[in-house]
Structure 1
Amino acid sequence: MIDVLVAGGGPAGLAAAIRAAAAGLETVVVEPRAVPVDKACGEGVMPSGVAALKALGVSPAGRELRGIRYVQGDRRAEARFRGGPGLGVRRTTLHAALHHRAADLGVRFVAGRVDGVRQGEDRVTAAGLTARWMIAADGLHSPTRRALGLERAPAAPRRYGLRRHYRVAPWTDLVEVHWSPHGEAYVTPVGDGLVGVAVLSGHRRSHGEHLDAFPALARALRGREDGAVRGAGPLRRTASTQGAGRVLLVGDAAGYVDALTGEGIALAAATATAAVDCLVAGRPEAYPARWTRLTRRHRLLTRALLGLAGRPVTARMIVPAAQHLPPLFAAAVRALQ
Structure 2
Amino acid sequence: MTDIDVDVLVAGAGPIGLAAAIEARLEGLSVVIVEPRSFPVDKACGEGLMPGAVAALERLGVKTEGASIAGFRYADERRATEYRFRGQAGRGVRRTALHDALAARADELGVARVDARVGTIEQDARGVSAAGVRASWLLGCDGLHSTVRRTAGLEQAAKGSASKRRYGLSRHFAMAPWSDLVEVHWGPRAEAYVTPLADDLVGVAVLGPQLTSFDETISEIPELARRLVGAQPVGSLRGAGPLLQRATARTSGRVLLLGDASGYVDALTGEGIRVGLGHARAAIAAISGVDGHPAAVYEREWRRVSRDFRMLTGGLLAAAQSPVRPLIVPAARALPAAFGAVVERLAR
Question: Following superposition of structure 1 onto structure 2, how do residues 295-334 of structure 1 map, counting pairs within 5 Å?
Answer: 295-311=306-322, 313-334=323-344
2:134 to 117, 130, 133: 130
Partner in structure 2 of residue 188 of structure 1: 195
* Residue equivalent to 1:211: 218
- Assess if the C-alpha contact under 8 Å between 1:63 and 1:89 holds in 2: yes
Aligned to 1:222: 229
1:243: Cα distance to partner?
0.7
Residue 249 of structure 1: aligned partner: 257
* 1:119-152 CA-partner distances (Å, limit 9, x unpaired): 1221111011111111110100001101111100
* 1:27-66 paired onto structure 2 within 5 Å: 27-66=31-70
Contact 1:150–1:239 (Cα < 8 Å) also in 2: yes
Shift of 1:183: 1.2
Alignment of 1:139-218 (within 5 A): 139-156=143-160, 157-218=164-225
CA distance in 2, matches of 1:126, 1:163: 33
**What do the CA deviations read for 1:228-250 (whole angstroms, capped 9, x no partner)?**
01110000111111111111110
* Over 3 Å off, 4+ runs: none
The question of 1:336 aligning with 2:346 is answered yes
Which residue is 1:119 aligned to? 123
Alignment TM-score, normalising by the size of structure 1? 0.97
8 Å contact kept, 1:181–1:309? no
TM-score after normalising by structure 2: 0.94
* Cα drift, residue 304 of structure 1: 0.6
- Provide the secondary structure at the position in 2 that maps to 1:151: coil
8 Å CA contact 2:171–2:205 kept in 1: the answer is yes
Counterpart secondary structure, 1:162: strand
Aligned amino acid, residue 121 of structure 1 = A
Counterpart residue type for residue 202 of structure 2: V
Q: Distance in 2 between matches of 1:233 and 1:223?
A: 29
Per the TM alignment, residue 227 of structure 1 is displaced from its structure 2 partner at its CA by: 1.1
Deviation of 1:268 (Å): 1.2
How many Å apart are 1:287 and its aligned residue? 0.7
C-alpha displacement at 1:91, in angstroms? 0.1
Give the CA deviation at 1:205.
2.7
Deviation at 1:317, TM superposition (A): 0.6
Q: Secondary structure at the match of 2:29?
A: coil
- Work out whether residues 188 and 220 of structure 2, in 8 Å CA contact, stay in contact via their aligned partners in 1: no
Alpha carbons 1:3, 1:25 under 8 Å: kept:
yes
Are 2:271 and 1:263 aligned? yes
Given residue 309 of structure 1, which amino acid in structure 2 is its aligned partner?
A
In the TM superposition, residue 211 of structure 1 has moved relative to its aligned partner by 1.3
Write the deviation string for residues 92-132 of structure 1: whole angstroms up to 9, x where unpaired.
00000000001100100111111211112211110111111
RMSD: 1.1
Distance 1:151 1:246 in 2: 16
- Cα separation, 1, equivalents of 2:223 and 2:332: 20
Question: Mean alpha-carbon deviation: is it higher for 133-142 or for 315-324?
Answer: 315-324
Partner of 2:301: 290
- The one-letter amino acid paired with 1:200 is L
Q: Secondary structure at the match of 1:238?
A: coil
Quote how far apart the aligned CAs of 1:305 are.
Answer: 0.5
**Structure 2 runs not aligned, ≥5 long:** none
Partner of 1:74: 78
Tell me if the contact between 1:123 and 1:131 (Cα under 8 Å) persists in the aligned partners: yes
The answer to whether the 8 A contact 1:180-1:315 is kept is no
Q: Which moved more, 1:98-107 or 1:212-221?
A: 212-221
Paired with 1:147 and 1:69, the residues of 2 have a C-alpha distance of 41
Instruction: Letter of the 1:207 partner, please give it.
Output: F
Identify unmatched segments of 5+ residues in structure 1.
none
User: Are the equivalent residues in 1 in contact too, given 2:44–2:168 (CA < 8 A)?
Assistant: yes
Q: Does structure 2 conserve the Cα–Cα contact (< 8 Å) formed by 1:70 and 1:179?
A: yes
